[in-house]
């Protein structure tokens, strides 16, 4: 049975996943991401959590965060899940360093 999860809980899941990624990469470089399969797996998993939560957030809530690129977030999740062999670690690193802090700030400002 599928349970209903509110948008506020889904946004909290996104923030938790962003925080987890920040913890995972603390003191790390992109070279560490390439070299450490456990780190890659952990980061990719959290990105899928973010994408899955984003995919299930209502349009009403998405409209409250117009600068968030919801479709790109969801597309990233889809590539990681379905096109895993196509994942580019440089793009992942850019998402982690550039996009996730922006997303985190936007969600926290809304809350």
Q: List active site positions.
A: 77, 82
Are residues 18 and 49 in contact, defined by beta-carbon separation less than 8 angstroms?
no
Question: What element of type H or E holds 15?
Answer: helix 7-25
What's the CA gap between 39 and 106, in Å, rounded? 26
Pick the closest to residue 32 from 83, 87, 89 (CA basis): 89
What's the CA gap between 42 and 23, in Å, rounded? 11
């Amino acid at each position: 049975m599928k349970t209903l999860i509110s948008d506020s809980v889904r946004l909290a899941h996104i923030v938790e996943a962003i925080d987890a990624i920040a913890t995972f990469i603390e003191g790390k470089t992109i070279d560490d991401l390439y070299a450490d399969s456990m780190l890659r797996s952990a980061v990719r998993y959290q990105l899928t959590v973010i994408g899955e939560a984003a995919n299930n957030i209502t349009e009403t809530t998405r409209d409250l965060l117009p600068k968030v690129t919801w479709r790109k977030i969801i597309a990233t999740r889809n590539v990681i899940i379905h096109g895993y062999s196509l994942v580019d670690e440089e793009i992942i690193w850019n998402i982690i360093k550039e996009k996730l802090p922006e997303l985190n700030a936007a969600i926290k400002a809304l809350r």
